[in-house]
Amino acid sequence: MNMKEKTDKTVLKVNDGIRGDVPRLAGKIALREASADDLRVLLVFLERGAERIARDAGVSQARADAALDYWREAGILTEGIGTETVNDIEEKKRPLLPADQLSPMTGEETAEIIRRRDLSGVLDEAQRTLGRVFNPAEMKIVVGLAEQLELEPGYILTLISWYHNQGKNSLNYVERKAYALVREGIETLAQLEAYISRCEMAASGIGQIRKMFGIGERALSKAEENRFTRWLIDEKISIEVIGIAYDLTVDQTGKASSAYTDKILKKWIKAGVIGSAEEVEHFVEREKAERGQAAAQNNGRGPKHDPIPSTYDSGDFFARAVERSYQKKK
């Protein structure tokens, strides 16, 4: 395919009835009710179009999309058919480059981005959190998180604070983690907060599981870490239920095997009884009772005919048989 070949795409454009007559917008209810972000996004769109609109408006991509939806519903913007080259498509598919592979920002560029994105407050708060004045390289890192990753201020400050609380005060470390999170699709403050909540819940629960299985201070294997995280986060199994499965594991195998415990938990999940410790206990007791009944039936199983009485007399039996045979011939 020719790299200049065009392909149709849906694009946003200013409604034909409004284009070139921006003063008429002042009379619209939508304009009066628009937020500051909505207005910034609209102004950037009118000036530059939708390309990199989040970055140019100084908002997150999610916020930019919401603003465009707002103006679309208000009738200011409408959808139409446009074209883009294959080069444009490939540009959008280009993977996110690591920070160290991007062209470094000059001091003037950094200052311009700080002004345009209103990052002075973010830098001040980040410096207070880490208890130091940032050098130029550190300032560029914070600015890069906003400009290159298009992260909102709350996201940046939350990420810095979270790693600071873990004793990670290097902005280079924060930058690497931010790039990794964005690659995983964690791009908004709400997504970051949910991610942090999951991590904190897993850390607390894994500590209890380590104690339960007697793992001590050794590092978890990858299989153990994945298994424990799945129990706590993906399957939302309580520590109490895991404890019941652990007890059964030790009773049945004589050792603390998390792999065996995992099999028990999967069985309970399949049976739909993983909700509470009481539900699991009832299920275990019911299974135990059923096994006991089955064992009793197997132990008591004998021949299908009636047992021969202890007073059985073979001679009497033979005499009766002969008599019955004689009577049939008469």
* Torsional sign, CA 52, 93, 63, 163: negative
Range of the domain at 266: 197-297
Residue 115 and residue 74 share a domain: no
Q: What is the model's pLDDT at position 36?
A: 86
Give the per-residue pLDDT at 145.
92
Does 214 fall in a domain? yes
Mean pLDDT by 10 residues, the chain (330 residues): 43 49 50 83 82 80 82 75 42 52 72 91 96 94 90 95 94 92 91 90 88 90 89 89 94 91 93 88 89 73 45 42 46
DSSP conformational letter for 22: G
Whether residue 132 lies inside any domain: the answer is yes
Structure tokens at 256: 């603390």
One-letter amino acid for residue 272 of the chain: G
Domain final residue pick, 63, 93, 123: 93
pLDDT score at 293: 79
Torsion-angle region of 82 (φ positive above 0: left; ψ -120 to 50: alpha; else: beta)? beta
Structural domain includes residue 320? no
The gap between the terminal CA atoms of the chain, to the nearest Å, is 105
Amino acid in the structure at residue 267: K
Specify whether 208 is located in the same domain as 282.
yes
Work out how many domains the chain is built from and give that number: 3
- Distance, in Å, from the CA atom of 34 to the CA atom of 22, rounded to the nearest integer, reads 15
CA neighbor of 235 nearest in space, from 212, 210, 213, 267: 267
Q: Between 171-183 and 136-147, two packed helices, what is the crossing angle to 10 degrees?
A: 10
Please report whether residue 309 resides in a domain: no
Q: Is residue 247 part of a domain?
A: yes
